């Protein structure tokens, strides 16, 4: 038994040269898409105006609208991709997507409660940067804890139970959001409706700077746990015998995922399938070890989200599509393909 376990541990290698090259390509593609997302759109920048007049309309649009929006899209995509990969490692389940299993819905319900019942009571800066993200984080934390309780604590294993709990959570959140929509005012209704479909249109420096700092710190806190997530794939008893503090690892993944998903949902609304699609694409390209998977999912998630935001701004310009519609159009067929792939295996 010990020899078999040692072979499994030996097979969980650290990142290799091929995966290092793949990560380098992810970084380069993310930077290229970042530049393209900033320069392309319904408003065309004049290089002469940007260089000669710091108060020109071009500079205002670039510095106050376009760059904050693109950075928010990149960080939301990175946080959703990383949280999806982390939750799939924690649950040892390939369908553990924050949107699919109800984590995003829980965060959305928490944020919606504050939007409808708490807006206008506090100043906008405190409301947007503190109260709204905290309420979304609490909602996401409750859902993740509930999921872990039903899929692990009671001995329920496998994809079916997780999907059933996720369906129940999504239904409950939909009922709650529906009630809040019914009692909301006209202005709250418009904001809530567009927010639930996903958008980066409300990005501003005062809102995103605290969020980007917290998301960055949380991601850097999570990525060093990659090796422990690799060992967890052998099973909790084996991981414990190999020196992994399983309870501490669970707590870390749950808190980090709740923070990143909660802040992302509070700022951009409900954007689905990123946490499902991105980790699987990263695995298909370069492998399954989490030293490669976690940073790869972050970079590819950022690229995918910036691309989706660029499409939302340019497909029907000067109008704008909700980002959530584009990610759902990409993710739904991928999810069906994944179901058939799992069924065959």
Give the domains, in start order, of the chain with CATH numbers: 55-344 (1.10.3470.10)
Neighbours of 146 (CB within 10 A): 17
Mean pLDDT in order along the chain per 10 residues (345 residues): 47 70 94 91 68 71 87 93 90 78 82 75 60 81 78 55 77 85 76 76 82 88 90 85 86 85 83 86 88 93 93 84 86 78 64
Q: Count Cβ neighbours within 10 Å for each residue of 213-251 and write b for 16 or more, e otherwise.
A: ebbeebbeebbebbebbbbbebebebbeebebeeeebbe
pLDDT for the residue numbered 171: 85
Between the alpha carbon of residue 293 and those of residues 30, 90, 158, the distances in Å are 16, 13, 22
Asked if residues 159 and 342 have their Cβ atoms less than 8 Å apart, the reply is yes
Residues 6+ apart with CB under 8 A from 188: 115, 116, 119
In the block, tokens 């919606």 appear at: 112
Residues 6+ apart with CB under 8 A from 175: none
pLDDT for the residue numbered 31: 95
Torsion of CA 124, 130, 132, 134, to 10 degrees: -170
CA distance 80 to 279: 10
CA distance 338 to 44: 40
pLDDT for the residue numbered 255: 84
Three-state secondary structure string covering the chain: CHHHHHHHHHHCCCCCHHHHHHHHHHHHHHHHHHHHHHHCCCCCCCHHHHHHCCCCHHHHHHHHHHHHHHHHHHHHHHHHHHHHHHHHHHHCCCCCCCCCCCHHHHHHHHHHHHHHHHCCCCCHHHHHHHHHHHHHHHHHHHHHHHHHHHHHHCCCCCHHHHHHHHHHHHHHHHHHHHHHHHHCCHHHHHHHHHHHCCCCCCCCHHHHHHHHHHHHHHHHHHHHHHHHHHHHCCCHHHHHHCCCCHHHHHHHHHHHHHHHHHHHHHHHCCCCCHHHHHHHHHHHHHCCCHHHHHHHHHHHHHHHHHHHHHHHHHCCCCCCCCHHHHHHHHHHHHHHHHHHHHHHC
pLDDT for the residue numbered 11: 45
pLDDT for the residue numbered 156: 45
pLDDT for the residue numbered 65: 85
pLDDT for the residue numbered 199: 82
Asked if residues 292 and 12 have their Cβ atoms less than 8 Å apart, the reply is no
pLDDT for the residue numbered 282: 92
CA distance 258 to 160: 23
pLDDT for the residue numbered 204: 81
CA distance 281 to 275: 11
């Amino acid at each position: 038994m010990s020899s078999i376990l040692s072979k499994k541990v030996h097979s969980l290698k650290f990142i290799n040269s091929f995966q290092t090259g793949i990560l380098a390509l992810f970084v380069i593609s993310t930077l290229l898409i970042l530049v393209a997302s900033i320069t392309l759109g319904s408003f065309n920048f004049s290089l002469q105006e940007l260089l000669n007049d710091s108060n020109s309309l071009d500079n205002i649009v670039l510095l106050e609208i376009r760059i904050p929006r693109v950075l928010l899209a990149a960080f939301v995509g990175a946080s959703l991709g990383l949280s999806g990969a982390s939750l799939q490692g924690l649950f040892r389940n390939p369908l553990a997507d924050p949107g699919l299993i109800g984590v995003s819905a829980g965060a959305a319900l928490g944020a919606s409660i504050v939007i409808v019942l708490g807006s206008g009571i506090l100043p906008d800066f405190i409301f947007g940067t503190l109260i709204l993200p905290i309420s979304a984080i609490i909602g996401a934390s409750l859902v993740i804890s509930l999921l872990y309780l039903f899929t692990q604590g009671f001995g329920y294993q496998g994809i079916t139970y997780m999907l059933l709990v996720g369906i129940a959570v999504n239904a409950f959140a939909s009922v709650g959001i529906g009630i809040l929509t019914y009692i909301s005012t006209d202005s709250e209704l418009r904001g809530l409706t567009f927010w639930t479909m996903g958008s980066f249109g409300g990005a501003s420096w005062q809102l995103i700077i605290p969020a980007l700092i917290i998301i960055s710190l949380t991601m850097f806190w999570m990525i060093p746990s990659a090796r422990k997530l690799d060992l967890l794939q052998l099973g909790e008893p084996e991981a414990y015998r190999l020196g992994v503090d399983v309870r501490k690892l669970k707590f870390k993944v749950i808190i980090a995922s709740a923070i990143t998903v909660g802040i992302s949902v509070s700022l951009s609304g409900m954007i689905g399938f990123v946490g499902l699609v991105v980790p699987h694409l990263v695995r298909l390209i370069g492998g399954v070890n989490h030293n490669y998977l976690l940073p790869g999912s972050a970079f590819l998630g950022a690229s995918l989200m910036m691309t989706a935001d660029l499409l939302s701004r340019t497909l029907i310009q000067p109008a704008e599509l909700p980002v959530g519609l584009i990610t759902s159009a990409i993710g739904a067929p991928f999810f069906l393909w994944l179901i058939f792939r799992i069924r065959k295996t």
